[in-house]
Amino acid sequence: MTEIIFREAIKRGLAEALDSNPNVFIMGEDIGEYGGAYAVTDGFLAKYGPERIIDTPISEAAFVGAGIGAAAAGLRPVVELMSMSFALVAFDQIVNMAANLRYMSGGQIEVPLLIRAPTGAGVQLGATHSQSFETWMAEVPGMRCVCPSNPYDALGLIRTALKERNPVLFAEPALLYGVRGEVPDHYYEIPFGSANVQRAGEDVTLISYGAGMRVLDAAASELEAKGVSAEVIDLRSLSPVDYDTLLTSIEKTNRVLALDTGRRRGGMMAEIAAELQERAVEWLDGPVVRVGAEDVPWPYNRGLEQESYPQPADVLAALNKHYGL
């Protein structure tokens, strides 16, 4: 096992694809000479050249559209957005075109496009650069949507993404780029639609993804100190969702809390909660509890941003209120 940081895991997966497949290329804003907003593509321009590492103008609609066309023509493009917030500028291309072309052509046109984007708040980027729109795009049929929480998952999921025949949104929590973790030296992949039980427990099931896993892990440690055993599950894949793992856990614990680090209203966990309430009601000893960010634009001020961002204390308070834990 080798310990690397989150961004290096993504970089390793991209380099493997560039080395092994001449049809792979990357394009986005400042990914070449500058090395990417979060240094994921640092050094790639010198190694692979400007035909495969392409700096684009500041027009997400244009270069996402170019990526769709390249994918439909048989190439395997990787498009980097500087922020998930900027996916809004390319929503027509992503949602109407990339996600629908295979279906509308009766399978004649495939769009093996990988879209990477930093996502989420917590790093003082203000209201217009801190959105978590992977929760929106997870709803779109024809797309795959994943969000890793550690270097191991980041590498395994990006390897899978780079073989997927459908467009993939690869959400990279901005808070996690410097997080360290162990990665095997041997090759492995993580299939989409496979959640990970990060921590086994008996008394309550805690569910999140991405940066939310750090919040849940801290909350689980505090619960353990009080004698409460929490099972912590990382979704990893938002589309498809591994409901089998969630239901198996709830059948054991009879209690569940779902955490969004994005806003609670309309978040990914609203869908998870509705599905679990329908499919697991006979096992539940209480409601599906949800915790999320405050329903306000993300503040730039550090203190206010942290006040808006869900904390372990919010998880503990919600569990105490609804389950008496």
For residues 17 and 24, the answer to whether their CB atoms sit within 8 Å is yes
Could you confirm whether 186 is annotated as catalytic? no
Say which of 8, 29, 60, 172 is annotated catalytic. 60
Say which of 129, 134, 172, 305 is annotated catalytic. 129
Could you confirm whether 60 is annotated as catalytic? yes
Residues annotated catalytic, as ranges: 60, 129
